[in-house]
Amino acid sequence: MQSTQHAMSPPAARSVTSGPVTSATSTGSNASAFYNQPGILVTQDWFVVAGRRYPVCELHNLRTARGPADQLTIRSVTVTAIMLAGVGITLGMTTELNHLSAQAYLALTAVAFVPFLVATIGHRLRPRAYELWGEFHGLTMLLFTSDQQRQYGQVTRALLRAKEATRLGAVAEPVASMNMWRSSR
The pLDDT tens digits for 34-45 are: 999 999 999 989
Please report the pLDDT score of residue 133 as a whole number. 94
Mean per-residue pLDDT, 143-172: 86
Which residues make beta-bridge pairs with 46?
A: 55
Taking 3-state DSSP, the helix, strand and coil percentages for the chain, each rounded to the nearest 5, stand at 45, 20, 35
Q: For residue 144, with 0-12 CB atoms within 10 Å meaning exposed, 13-18 middle and 19 or more buried, which class applies?
A: buried
The pLDDT tens digits for 67-97 are: 888 888 788 888 888 888 887 787 777 777 6
Q: For residue 43, with 0-12 CB atoms within 10 Å meaning exposed, 13-18 middle and 19 or more buried, which class applies?
A: buried
- State yes or no: pLDDT of 173 exceeds 60: no
- State yes or no: pLDDT of 25 exceeds 60: no
Please report the pLDDT score of residue 12 as a whole number. 37
At residue 119, what is the residue type?
A
Please report the pLDDT score of residue 58 as a whole number. 92
Task: Please indicate, yes or no, whether the overall pTM of this predicted structure exceeds 0.75.
Answer: no
Q: What is the mean pLDDT of the chain?
A: 76
How many CA atoms does the CB half-sphere of 61 hold within 13 Å? 9
* 122/45: higher pLDDT: 45
